[in-house]
Structure 1
Amino acid sequence: MANVIFYEKPGCASNAKQKALLIASGHQVDARDLLKEPWSASSLRPYFGAKPVHEWFNAASPRVKSGEVKPGAVNPQEAIMMMILDPGLIRRPLMRIGDHCEAGFDPASVNRWIGLKSEAEEISDRCAMDAA
């Protein structure tokens, strides 16, 4: 069992399903509001690890969907600053267990990391509310 600090967008149906799966898998979830967290470069950057910068962004963000923000055209420092100013740009959820941090919810990756029940079939990091 892991204690997962889980940064979510309140009201996001996908985040609710992700939390439910973690709890059903025996993990404790400490849910926090991603949008209200006082992010800094040093607190946010570890969640993205070695992922390419464009994968740091929430593809469903209105600013990304409209083309105002072009995730493939910014460097890591610019991306972090944009996300600090507008946390809605951050791919979610952000999850931390101890010193290990992850952005997004890929069930296979989460399963390898901490273990999940087998019902992880259709749960991803795409917010159903954002897709609408």
Structure 2
Amino acid sequence: MAIPTRLKVSHGEVFPHGAFVIGDVEAVRDFERSTRERAVQATDKESGVLVWSVSVLDADPDARKDVKTVTVKISAPHQPVPPEAMPGMPFRPVEFEGLTVTPYLDDKRNRIAFSYRATGMRAPQSGGKPSPRTNAEAA
């Protein structure tokens, strides 16, 4: 049996209190193919599409300071556009589609860490909170 390295999760499982975009969506650099003079954008090893990254604030009030802000990499053929900011607020509530998590060992901190990937992002269906899980997401 082959165990996938990317485990499918719902947005609500990772961000039960919601999430907010706090930076720009940026191209991820492929360090193996790039040179000093020519940057090459990374592509997803499974789908072959371009990879983008965005910094996200986890709205969980109990989240530890060192995991309050995470990076989510998005595999998409074009640069994803974050949802609009809430009126009067600098933050943009977000919900990720096709979210996966990959656990790995963080040697520097000697503990398990997580890498997040998605296939898209959208405005949450209900304010800043994640949409309820569907039966398809729960499976």
- Structure 2 length as normaliser, TM-score? 0.27
Higher strand share: 2
| Larger Rg computed on CA atoms | 2
Higher helix share: 1
- Structure 1 length as normaliser, TM-score? 0.28
Ranked by relative contact order (alpha carbons within 8 Å, sequence separation 6 or more), the top structure is 1
